[in-house]
A and B are shown apart, each in its own frame.
Chain A
Amino acid sequence: MTAVSSLTVIVLVAGILIVLVSESSLAIHKFGILNFITSTDWDPVKQTFGAATTLFGTLVTTVLSLVIAIPVAVGIAIFITEIAPNFLKGPIGVAIELLAAIPSIIYGLWGLFTLAPIMSTYIEPALQDTIGKLPFFSALLDGTPMGIDLLTASVILSIMIIPFTASIARDSFKLTPEVVKESAYAIGATKWEVVKNVVIPYSKLGVFGGVVLSMGRALGETMAVAFVLGNNHQITSSLLNAAATITVSLANEFSEADTDIYLSSLFFLALVLFVLSFVTLFIAKIFLNRAERKYSR
């Protein structure tokens, strides 16, 4: 009984893989794997489908959100472990973790009605007027700020993954032996030098694992981005344009897919996402396990 229950996990992973492969076989046969991934066509009317536009959106939002989230998350971890007075450590840690408990649909709703207008009226024009004047950034910030775009989606995603990265970074930081830190203080290092030269190098495996884990989360986040990305299948150089991610396309088009090849292509997208996030999460797991083994020595 118990053995059967635990085996459900293996059955589920294998089942998901098998079902997704068999459901997408139609699209795999028609478009080919490599061609599907590199093709930018997504045209339900002409019945030609390719994953490049959605892959682009997924990767851009993921990378951009990580760029925003990592420094903030590491900063939070440093604050909680090294700076905060004891009575603040607990409450701030809990508050940051509550951010992780808020369901993604709330982030999406808030993003659509609160953040998007703020982005389009204040932040995006301000960005355009300042760094948007520089040669490289002008292409990135081209277009009319609408608020429904890659930048807003990435900001929301980053708020969502900060808690994951921060709590793993905090746990890794905490594992640095006091003795090692104290010996650095004893030779006159400042607090920041201890963090920079002792704590971070010591815990980098764990922090890195946390970052990869958050990346896996960001790849598959659906509802938070579905509200503010616009589901527009295009590859664009400007972050102020609407785009589509794999998850957003699935959410918006799955129940509307009217032909077999359309549905099969959507299953193919799901398969690509599954493989992508599974591999990412597996890598994260390896790093975290290795970190754990290293510290428990």
Chain B
Amino acid sequence: MNHEIKRKVEGFIALLFSTFAAFFGLFWLVFILGDVVVHGLGALKLGLFLSDPVPAGIEGGGLRNAFIGHLMITSCATLIGVPVGVLGGTFLAEYARGRRISRIISILADIMVSVPSIIIGTFIYAIMVRPVGHFSGWAGAVALAIIMIPVVLRTTEDMLSLVPWTLREAAFALGAPYYKVIVQVVYRGAATGIFTGILLSIARVAGETAPLLFTAFNNSFFSVNMNGPMPSLTVSVFQYAMGPYDDWHAQAWAASLVITVFILFLTIAGRLLLKWRYKQ
């Protein structure tokens, strides 16, 4: 009898602990998000989007340059990374299906997804910044694209593999060549999945800071020249947060709020899309 009580008590304590762990996790989420919202909302002004930074120490100014720069770097990264990722994923799932090379690339891509992003930054610095002698927006975009490629590639591969093989055979039976089958049948079947993968990969790179630190660098002036140093929101947040001025800190919080809302929106949208498409 005593033994039975002991087992029950032990079970109760263990389950209590794991319930506590789950709420511990939730607690951090609420704490961090709440903190960003509270600090960020207070500093969120129209001027943040409409004016450029003023000299250090003077109140006011905004981060218009960083918003535009961030948008340009991320869009260019998407334009480079998405085609390469989607085509690569197509190769793995279609032309090289089941081959050894496909497995190797797949594993390498999985590892690349988690490789420290700052290493990508040093790599791009060595091949794109030092040879030309100056930081550039392009270097930042390529660094982000490199982070994007394995993410897009893996989701494309997975999503294409979900399309039933019989669908392709039906198209082959009509005499369609393989590339036509892929473009007109397989891509259509997997479109939502691939699109979600792209959304999630944009969410992933939009918050990256480390690979931009010594590729796109920073610029306190408005610039749309992708060949020169470009400001980005994340690097600005890093610089402003480490700086000594309260006004900078407030702007860093506001910029963080914008980044966080944007990324969480993309992530949740991606999840809902997936759920809606693959609800069975």
Query: What residues of chain A have their CB less than 8 Å away from a CB belonging to chain B?
Result: 1-10, 12-13, 15-16, 19-20, 23, 71-76, 78-80, 82-84, 92, 94-96, 98-99, 101-110, 112-114, 159, 162-163, 166, 190-193, 195-196, 213, 216-217, 219-223, 226-227, 247, 250-251, 254-255, 266-267, 270, 273-274, 277-278, 281-282, 285, 289
Interface of A: prevailing SS? helix
A6 touches which of B26, B96, B242, B253 (Cβ 8 Å): B96
Smallest beta-carbon distance B157→chain A, Å: 9
If A106-B36, A109-B241 touch, does A193 touch B11 (CB 8 Å cutoff)? yes
Q: Is the CB of B32 within 8 A of A105?
A: no
Q: Is the CB of B122 within 8 A of A266?
A: yes
Q: Is the CB of A274 within 8 A of B115?
A: yes
B126 touches which of A12, A23, A159, A250 (Cβ 8 Å): A23
Which of B41-49, B57-65, B104-112 contacts the other chain?
A: B104-112
- Digitize B141-178: 1 where CB-to-A-CB distance is under 8 Å, 0 elsewhere: 00000100110010000000000000000000000000
In the complex, the 8 A-B pairs of residues with the closest C-beta atoms, listed nearest first: A103-B207, A220-B116, A75-B21, A192-B11, A2-B91, A6-B88, A5-B87, A75-B18
Residues of A near B73 (CB, < 8 A) are none
Residues of A near B94 (CB, < 8 A) are 2
B residues 58-96 touching A (CB-CB < 8 Å): 83-92, 94-96
Residues of A near B90 (CB, < 8 A) are 2, 5
If A9-B150, A109-B237 touch, does A213 touch B114 (CB 8 Å cutoff)? yes
B11 touches which of A190, A216, A219 (Cβ 8 Å): A190
Residues of A near B115 (CB, < 8 A) are 16, 220, 274, 277-278, 281
Interchain CA distance A186-B39 in the complex, whole Å? 53
The residue on B at minimum CB distance from A195 is B14
Interface of B: prevailing SS? helix
If A1-B87, A6-B96, A79-B21 touch, does A192 touch B110 (CB 8 Å cutoff)? no
Smallest beta-carbon distance A207→chain B, Å: 14
Q: Tell me the count of chain B residues lying within 8 A, CB to CB, of chain A.
A: 87
Q: Is the CB of B14 within 8 A of A192?
A: yes
- Sample (25) of A-B pairs whose CB atoms are under 8 Å apart: A2-B95, A3-B96, A5-B87, A6-B92, A8-B149, A9-B105, A10-B105, A16-B115, A16-B120, A16-B123, A75-B18, A84-B22, A95-B25, A99-B25, A99-B32, A103-B207, A104-B210, A114-B35, A190-B7, A192-B15, A193-B7, A213-B114, A254-B213, A278-B115, A281-B114
If A98-B267, A102-B32, A102-B260 touch, does A226 touch B108 (CB 8 Å cutoff)? no
Which among B12, B122, B127, B271 has the greatest number of chain A C-beta atoms within 10 A?
B122
Q: Is the CB of A191 within 8 A of B210?
A: no
Smallest beta-carbon distance A284→chain B, Å: 8
Q: Is the CB of A83 within 8 A of B18?
A: yes
Smallest beta-carbon distance B6→chain A, Å: 11
If A84-B22, A101-B264 touch, does A222 touch B149 (CB 8 Å cutoff)? no
The residue on A at minimum CB distance from B85 is A5
Smallest beta-carbon distance B210→chain A, Å: 4
Residues of A near B138 (CB, < 8 A) are none
